[in-house]
Structure formats: C-alpha cells, structure tokens
C-alpha cells in the first residue's frame, strides 16, 4: 500500500463530510463537538467533529497543512502509525477540550485542527530544523521555534477567550503528537534532548497555569 493512501483517504472523507455539513444543518448539529451531548453519552462526537468544518477556507487550511506535514510522519513511521497518530491526536484534542469546558454544556466545536496539529508537532519532533515559511514573515522559521511559538499562542488564546478558534483542541492535539511520537521512537529523547525539552516547555507551562487556576 502506498504510504499516501491514508492521507488521501482522510482528506477525501473530511471534504465529503464537511460539504455534507455545509448543506445539512441537522447532520452538522448531530455530529459536532457539543459538551452537553457528549456528557449525555454521545462520545462519537469526540471523533465525528473532526470531519466537520465551518466553511471551505477552514477546511482548506486544515487539509493543506495536513498535506504538507503528513509525509514526514508516514515516511518515517509508515502509514498505519500515521493513521494512529492522526486519530490519537484528534482524541487528545477532544479530551483536553472536554476537560477545560466540561461545565459549559453549550460549548460547541468542529474541525480537524487537533488531529492536524498533532501531525505537525510529530513532524517537528522528527525534523526540528526544517524551515517553515509564513506569508507574513519574509524569512524561514526553524520548525521547532514555530512549534513552541504556536503553543504559546494557543495558551494566550485559551486564556484571553477573545476569538472563536479552538485553541484547546490545537493544544491537546499537539500534546498527542508529542507523546505518541516519543512513545513510538523514544530514541529521539537521547538523540535530540534539547529539542524534546524545548517542545515540552509550553506543555509544562499549560499544566502549571491550569494548576494555579489561571486558565
């Protein structure tokens, strides 16, 4: 089986289900992440919400990001491990979101961002010095600096609550990608200990802020 098979399958299914949701509000509401429904027993929403998106630009951003970072993961570990990482990161993102919003029964979320962020963080662990280009910064950014900065931005978003972005799912997905990558290849800890520790820094700060009740 070609290593890209699962990547293309995920992109295809996500696009089909997202377009179904664009045109069928009852379908969208049935499978979105909704705290009240999940706590009532509809755990399928923890996964199904990852196939729904708010609009075409939301869908395109997630799937294009996945398309560029996924090959680093599946070429290193193989297609089945990539699939495990994707859905594992999706679950991590949903679980962290549920943990932070468990008492907000009306909280809703959709999107593959948690799963995609997990794949991005896994790719950064595997290739921390690759260059990442962003349209508003005219110079390449080392991947590990991008990863650290992105999670600090997610902490800021979780704390400020001044936008509609699911920062908690992003952070949970990154934790999933980080943990699963190191479990699959613990040698990364000894081979690149400083990168592993630097990428863990925002995760540690998140837990400290949570413990202090500041999030």
Would you state the pLDDT for residue 189?
Answer: 93
Would you state the pLDDT for residue 3?
Answer: 78
Which tens digit of pLDDT belongs to each residue from 53-100? 989 998 998 999 899 999 999 999 999 999 999 999 999 999 999 998
Would you state the pLDDT for residue 1?
Answer: 62
Would you state the pLDDT for residue 215?
Answer: 67
**pLDDT tens per residue across all 215 residues of the chain:** 677 899 999 999 999 999 999 999 999 999 999 999 999 999 999 999 999 998 999 899 899 989 999 999 999 999 999 999 999 999 999 999 999 899 999 999 999 989 999 999 999 999 999 988 766 667 888 888 888 888 888 878 777 766 556 778 888 999 999 999 999 999 999 999 999 999 999 888 888 887 777 76
Return left, alpha or beta for 206; rule: phi > 0 is left, psi -120 to 50 is alpha, else beta: alpha
| DSSP letter for each residue of 19-68 | HHHHH-HHHHHHHSEEHHHHHTT-TTHHHHGGG--SSHHHHHHHHHHHHH
C-alpha of 74 from chain center: 16
Q: Which residues contact 192 (CB under 8 A, 6 or more apart)?
A: 125, 128
CA pair distance 153, 171, nearest whole angstrom:
10
Q: To which residue do tokens 């570990």 refer?
A: 77
Q: Residue 108: helix, strand or coil by DSSP?
A: strand
């Amino acid at each position: 089986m070609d290593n890209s098979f699962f990547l293309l399958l995920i992109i295809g299914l996500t696009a089909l289900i997202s377009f179904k949701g664009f045109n069928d509000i009852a379908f969208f509401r049935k499978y979105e992440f909704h705290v009240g429904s999940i706590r009532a027993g509809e755990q399928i929403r923890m996964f199904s919400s990852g196939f729904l998106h708010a609009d075409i630009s939301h869908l395109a951003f997630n799937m294009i990001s996945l398309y560029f970072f996924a090959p680093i993961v599946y070429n290193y570990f193989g297609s089945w491990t990539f699939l495990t990482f994707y859905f594992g990161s999706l679950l991590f993102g949903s679980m962290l979101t549920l943990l932070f919003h468990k008492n907000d029964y009306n909280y809703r979320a959709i999107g593959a961002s948690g799963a995609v962020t997990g794949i991005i963080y896994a790719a950064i662990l595997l290739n921390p010095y690759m260059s990442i280009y962003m349209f508003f910064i005219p110079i390449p950014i080392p991947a590990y600096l991008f990863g650290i900065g992105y999670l600090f931005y997610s902490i800021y978003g979780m704390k400020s609550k001044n936008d509609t972005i699911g920062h908690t799912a992003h952070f949970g997905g990154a934790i999933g990608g980080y943990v699963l990558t190191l479990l699959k290849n613990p040698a990364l800890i000894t081979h690149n200990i400083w990168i592993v520790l630097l990428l863990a820094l925002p995760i540690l700060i998140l837990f400290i802020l949570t413990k202090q009740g500041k999030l």
